Amino acid sequence: MSKKYSIVNTISKGGVGKSFISIQLAEYFASLNKRVLLVDLDHQQLNSCLYIADQRDLGADYQVKLKDILIYIMDNFSLLYKQNPENIDELNTRLTNSIFSRGRISVIASDPTINDLDSRIKDFSSSRFLLSILSAFAFDIYDVIIFDCPPDSSKALVKSAMSSAKNLIIPTLADEFSIKGIKNTLKLYDEIKITDNPDLNLVGIIINQFKLNHSVDLAYKDYIKEMFPGMVIEPILSYYADYKNAIADREFILSYKSKSTVNKKAVQQMDTLLKNISKKLVGE
């Protein structure tokens, strides 16, 4: 049986390209004939939703699906844990109805009201297992589950994702505020390793949107490598417009190989990074 992978992609800082990295990972595994599920935990419904689902499908009828699933798991946790057939069937139905698919990639879209659950999840005695239940059901269908998190490590869903997944990826920019985000995320990682998930594998830090000729970026890149030795996954992703254009066109950057206008360095850089990430992943 081939390995299955669960990945949480997070940093306590916005605007670093978390969803971009999640999409590239999803496309990479899909290209290897894996079935991939993106779980969007960010109420903003940004790239990971819009890349897979058409905007018109992300309307009122769908916006509460993830929230409904989480509420159902909390309300019926003990019965689901005991594998009660009726509850299992109901959760499977809710999961099926919540999913948007495009090729081998599917997404459970977040919703603007998901943050309303934060206090309830924090008070839920088994909150650390909340997304573990979802993963257990999803792994019946999918080979890879990627949790695309909001930029706030204090959120209960981020902690639940880190308690549930086998692998942690930390995307960042080469700047001062992102370094603070890395520190906060690593602090939470250390706490989760002790209290909830001792097997959580720190895959590494991805430096994104790097400007080669920018002295500030160069200085912070060196600082990140010095402060977090051995954690940065090579190669560092340079700033290429082709990455942004591929997302806008809802295409995988590696599929741009045949397009003469695309910078081949951008393609090679991403190809190498994704392969290096995959080598560091721990399977289920």
| 8 A C-beta contact, residue 151 and residue 12 | yes
More confident residue, 113 or 24: 24
Question: Which pLDDT belongs to residue 284?
Answer: 80
Domain ranges of the chain: 5-278
Residue pLDDT, tens place only, 135-157: 999 999 999 999 999 887 778 99
CATH fourth-level superfamily of 5-278: P-loop containing nucleotide triphosphate hydrolases (3.40.50.300)
- In this prediction, residue 201 carries a pLDDT of 98
Q: What pLDDT, on the 0 to 100 scale, is given for residue 1?
A: 47
Tell me what the pLDDT averaged over the chain comes to: 87
**Beta strands 167-172; 5-9: pairing state:** parallel
- List, for residues 43-55, the tens digit of each pLDDT value: 775 555 667 766 6
Residues 8, 167: contact at Cβ < 8 Å? yes
Q: What is the pLDDT of residues 184-223, one digit of tens each?
A: 999 999 999 999 999 999 999 999 988 877 788 888 899 9
Instruction: Summarize pLDDT for 231-278 with one digit per residue, the tens.
Output: 999 999 988 888 888 887 888 888 765 566 778 888 999 999 999 999
pTM of this structure: 0.92
For the record, the structure tokens of 91 come out as 């959760």
